[in-house]
Amino acid sequence: MTVRLPEELDSALEAIARVRHTSKHALLVEAAGDVVARYSRREEIKSGLDFVLNHDADLLKRLEDA
């Protein structure tokens, strides 16, 4: 895969890689993993909320009316 980054982003990534003594590739893999983890977490939260809203709809209605 080829990734073309804007020049200023590439320069910033290069600087971070130097400070962390790693490669830009490793930083991009780490960043991609973070994006996937955040997306997965959002889906888990959405699924849990949907479950509560459906499973406990009567209870939520009673609490709303209290």
**How far, CA to CA in Å, does 58 sit from each of 6, 52, 53, 64?**
52, 10, 9, 10
Residue 20 has a pLDDT of: 97
Does position 65 have pLDDT exceeding 80, yes or no? no
At 33, give phi and psi (nearest 5°): -60, -40
From CA 52, how far away is CA 66, in angstroms rounded? 19
User: What does the pLDDT average to over 40-49?
Assistant: 86
| Under 8 Å between Cβ of 17 and 27 | yes
pLDDT at 53 over 80: yes
